[in-house]
Amino acid sequence: MAGETGFHGGVNAYKAPVWHLRRSGDGGLFDTYAESFDAVWSTATPVWHEG
């Protein structure tokens, strides 16, 4: 998984570090990022509707 650190403030997104994460066990950093992504994704709505 590629995880972007999401700095707020003086760092533009294209300059923010990206970590390559591998799952090495339960409850680690990989799981934290995956759970966070799932939580945001589950509340997401389309920007526009086709049709």
What does the pLDDT look like over 12-46, one tens digit per residue?
777 778 889 899 999 998 998 889 889 989 999 98
- Cα gap 31→34, rounded to integer Å: 5
Report the phi/psi class of residue 16: left, alpha or beta, with left for phi > 0 and alpha for psi in -120 to 50: beta
pLDDT of residue 37: 87
Beta strands in 1-51 (DSSP E): 2-4, 18-20
Give residue 31's pLDDT: 92
pTM: 0.62
Of the CA atoms within 13 Å of residue 10, those in its CB half-sphere come to 0
Residue 36 or residue 49, greater confidence = 36
